[in-house]
Amino acid sequence: QAPLVESGGGSVETGMSLTLACVGSGYIVRDSCMAWFRQAPGQARAAVAGFTSGAVGPKYADSMKDRFTVSQDIAKSTLYLHLFNVMPADSAMYYCAVDRARNCRYRDWKRITTYDTWGQGTQVTVSS
């Protein structure tokens, strides 16, 4: 079984909301370094939001905080990404990632290389 499994993607219309989930038993644990990234065709994978070890609250990439919310349920080993009022520009493959060594305490949480474990992704397609 894959260490991280994302779900919740699909085809939605502009303005709708949806929630993505990433389940990772043994990977998504208390004080984890974990994050959501997204990648659209022809574009680089970019950080959306996440939690860094030792931080008080979640972190968001610029412009993501107003419509996205990241949350976690450690008892369920699950990381969530809530998308509100989606737009066609949000269409992408969404990936969750975990840094088991908690290097995010010292590294930029938005860098792909900070993470050592990735899910397969879940596709979100937003139509206008």
Per-residue pLDDT of the chain (128 residues; tens, 9 = 90+): 789 999 999 999 999 999 999 999 999 998 889 999 999 999 999 999 999 987 778 999 998 889 999 999 999 999 999 999 999 999 999 999 999 988 888 899 999 999 999 999 999 999 99
d(CA 83, CA 10): 12
Identify the pLDDT of residue 111.
95
What are residue 121's phi and psi, to 5 degrees? 100, 155
Identify the pLDDT of residue 112.
96
Say if CB 126 and CB 13 are below 8 A apart.
Answer: yes
Identify the pLDDT of residue 94.
98
Identify the pLDDT of residue 8.
98
**AA letter at 70:** V
